[in-house]
Chains A and B, each alone.
Chain A
Amino acid sequence: MENKELLKQRVEELAGRVNGEVEEILGTLILKVQAPYVTETLTAVKSFDDVPCDFLHDLAGLDLVDHLEVVYQLTSLNGPQHLRVKAIVDRENPVVDSVTRIWQGADYLEREAYDMFGIQFKGHPNLKRIYMWDDFEGYPLRKDYETEPIEIRNLVRQRIDGE
């Protein structure tokens, strides 16, 4: 497939510039970069010649125990190219640049990743929890988050006096 070859060529060129790794799983190209290169990578990916991956399809966090990843699923409305960009984020200090300046649609998705994984998106206009309430503690989708067993959750919380 010509399109795919072209994309692969462009991605490999880019990987050299941003110290990224390219691999292919089940027919999808994956570009792994370190967190500081995210803005540069995605700006470049958005404006690839002939095969621009200019539609941010999904943005999700991923917990791999030793580090976190932010997974960007990129496609285009004008061609069959699709690319997965992964940004490797430090687990203790998860900071990554926000892509809301590149795609406005990343707004809620980044808030969700923040809510579920605690990944700080630098430059996000309104980085607040989206699903959980504001004073919720912990990041539910991290592997070390402990869920309460059903027996504890089923207990009806006693009302504290004065509430």
Chain B
Amino acid sequence: MSIDKTEELVLNMGPQHPSMHGLFRMIVHLEGETVTEIEPKIGYLHRGIEKLAESRTYTQFIPYTDRLDYLASPHNNWAYVQTVEKLMGVEIPERAEYLRVIFGELARIASHQVMIASTALDIAGWTAWGYAFRDRERILDMYEMTAGSRLTVNCMRIGGMSAEPPAEFWPALESFLDDTPEMLEEYYGIFFGNEIAQGRLKNVGIMPKELAENLSITGPVLRASGVQYDVRKAYPYSIYDRFDFDVPVRYGCDSYDRTIIRMDEIKESVKIIRQAIRDIPEGPIMAKVPKVIKPPVGEVYHRVENPKGELGFYIVSDGSTKPARVRIRPGTFVNLQMLPIVAKGWKIQDVVAIFATLDAVLGEVDK
């Protein structure tokens, strides 16, 4: 036996692996601990949602959108119903628009909390994980009292909202917003400010701006690479043009910036919700839409700023009650392309951290 022969170690991580989010699998080629090649394998959660849409009516498809990015389900509802409304030319009531913004931004906060928690967990910060999930619980309670479900909220309908928030919703929302600075301080103290965590994340997994643009990266991952681009500002959909908020941008291009930019976004979301609470008018929450939704023949592409990247819906209608084609452009599916490119050459534990900062939700990646 010769000892001067070296061999690559091919390691199969996932779909059952403690650090893989959902059912992600990657085949990692290792040289010692250094990663030479990564092949992501997805599809373990593929449910064929695009195919399902073709045999469901427009309204019946709304609950399925919950199951895309299940950590921010109001956002998926929102993107879908807005696309259908754009196709049909429906104007929805003011109050419903404000409620949608409130729910969407709450979903953004909840999603970012999960992202911070899971990134902390992937670098073994167990307690930080608990704190972020504790605070997310309050948002879920708010969903629950309004729409009746905690995860797959299904709170929007074509033409408005499914339900008016109950009276106890508003104080709960106010107290949550009041507590956010304290929460963020706590996350910072236990996770971002920790030198060990900074060592794990800073200058790891550099994704330069040019690469990010070329790879069609969107969302916070793009903004952490120094591109100031947010659909809410660039193409204000819904009523985002009425709010005063900033688009946080970071220039580090590394794992740390991809993580901490979510903290900045939570701050901006709180700002938006406060303005929405101030301005929300009284009125109906449902526009007059026909009972049977039958959009005219045509096609429309609409995108919204999902917490994890841009979510786009491309709907082709043939004039019947069922869509001819629903194309879902999931943000994290496209963002995932950076992993094999960026993570090459790093240690195996850095790959885990880089993957965590992508904030991939396999419900959205696999559709």
Binding site for B on A (CB under 8 A): 25-26, 28, 54-58, 60, 62-63, 71, 73, 77, 80, 82, 84, 103-109, 112, 116, 129-133, 140-141, 147
Please determine whether B314 and A58 come into contact, CB atoms closer than 8 angstroms. Answer: yes
Q: Are A60 and B329 neighbours in the complex by a CB distance under 8 Å?
A: yes
Chain B residues with CB under 8 Å of A84's CB are 301
Query: Is B43 among interface residues, defined by CB-CB distance under 8 A?
Result: yes
Chain B nearest Cβ from A83, distance in angstroms: 11
The verdict on A105 contacting B217 (CB below 8 Å), with A25-B298, A71-B327 known, is: yes
**Contact stretch, chosen from B45-53, B132-140, B351-359:** B45-53
Cα of A140 to Cα of B234 in the assembled complex, Å: 35
A25-B299, A73-B312 as given contacts; A56 in contact with B216, CB under 8 Å? yes
B325 with A63: CB separation less than 8 A:
yes
Q: By the criterion CB–CB under 8 Å, are B367 and A131 in contact?
A: yes
Interface string of B39-71 (1 = CB under 8 A from A): 000110010101100010000000000000000
Q: Check A71 against B314 for contact (C-beta < 8 Å).
A: yes
Shortest Cβ distance from B235 into chain A, in angstroms?
Answer: 7
Cα separation A112 to B42 with both chains bound (whole Å): 11
Q: Is B215 part of the binding interface, using a Cβ–Cβ cutoff of 8 Å?
A: yes
B-chain residues with CB within 8 Å of residue A109 when the two chains form the complex? 216, 334
Residues A141 and B214 in contact, CB atoms below 8 Å apart: no
Q: In the complex the two chains form, what is the Cα distance from A82 to B329 in whole Å?
A: 16
In the assembled complex, the CB of B11 is this many whole angstroms from the nearest CB of chain A, namely: 20
Contact B227 A77 (CB under 8 A): yes
CA distance A104 to B333 in the complex (A): 14
Residues in B with CB closer than 8 Å to A140 are 48, 51
- Given A57-B216, A57-B329: A105 and B314 within 8 A (CB)? no
CB distance from B311 to the nearest CB of A (A): 10
Chain B residues with CB below 8 A from A116, complex form: 50
Nearest CB on B from A149, distance (A): 11
Known: A57-B303, A80-B234. 14 other contacts (CB 8 A): A25-B298, A25-B299, A28-B300, A54-B213, A55-B213, A58-B301, A71-B327, A80-B235, A104-B341, A105-B337, A107-B337, A108-B336, A130-B43, A141-B51
Smallest CB separation, B48 vs chain A (Å) = 6
**Residues from chain A with Cβ under 8 Å of B366 in the complex:** 131
A80 to B234, CA, bound (A): 7
Which of B86, B214, B300, B367 gathers most chain A CB within 10 Å? B214
What residues of B have a CB within 8 angstroms of the CB of A80 in the complex? 234-235
Q: Provide the residues of chain A in CB contact with B337, threshold 8 Å.
A: 104-105, 107-108
> Which residue of chain B has the shortest Cβ distance to A113 in the bound complex?
B327
Can you list 16 A-B pairs, Cβ within 8 angstroms, ordered by A? A28-B300, A57-B303, A57-B312, A62-B316, A63-B325, A77-B227, A104-B211, A104-B214, A104-B215, A105-B217, A108-B334, A130-B42, A131-B42, A131-B46, A140-B48, A141-B325
| Min CB–CB distance B151 → chain A (angstroms) | 23
Please measure, in the bound complex, the distance between the C-alpha atom of A136 and the C-alpha atom of B48, giving whole angstroms: 14
In the complex, the answer to whether A62 meets B325 with C-beta atoms within 8 Å is yes
Question: What residue of chain A has the Cβ atom nearest to residue B338's Cβ?
Answer: A105
Asked whether any CB of chain A lies closer than 8 Å to the CB of B254, the reply is no
Q: Which residues of B contact A (CB under 8 A)?
A: 42-43, 46, 48, 50-51, 55, 86-87, 211, 213-217, 227, 229, 234-235, 298-301, 303, 310, 312, 314, 316, 325, 327, 329, 333-334, 336-337, 341, 366-367
> Given A73-B301, A109-B334, A140-B48, does the pair A60, B314 have CB atoms closer than 8 Å?
yes
Known contacts: A62-B316, A109-B334. The answer to whether A55 contacts B51 by CB under 8 A is no
Can you list the 6 inter-chain pairs with the closest CB atoms, starting with the nearest?
A105-B216, A131-B43, A105-B215, A58-B329, A131-B46, A60-B327
Q: Which residues of B contact A104 (CB under 8 A)?
A: 211, 214-215, 337, 341
Please, which residue of chain B has its CB at the minimum distance from the CB of A107?
B337
Contacting residues, chain B, for A132 (C-beta < 8 A): 43, 46
Q: Which residues of A contact B367 (CB under 8 A)?
A: 131
**Contact flag A58-B312 (CB < 8 Å), given A26-B300, A80-B235, A141-B50:** yes
A131 to chain B, nearest CB (A): 4
Give the CA-CA distance A131 to B42 in the complex, in Å: 6
* B213, B329, B336, B366, most chain A CB atoms within 10 A: B213
Residues of the A chain whose Cβ atoms lie less than 8 Å from the Cβ of B316 = 62
Q: Are B214 and A103 in contact (CB under 8 A)?
A: yes
Residues in chain A near residue B50, CB distance under 8 A:
116, 141
In whole angstroms, what is the CA distance A30 to B214 when docked? 22
Give A58's nearest chain B residue, CB to CB: B329
Contacts of A57 in B (CB 8 A): 216, 303, 310, 312, 329
Q: Are A105 and B234 in contact (CB under 8 A)?
A: no
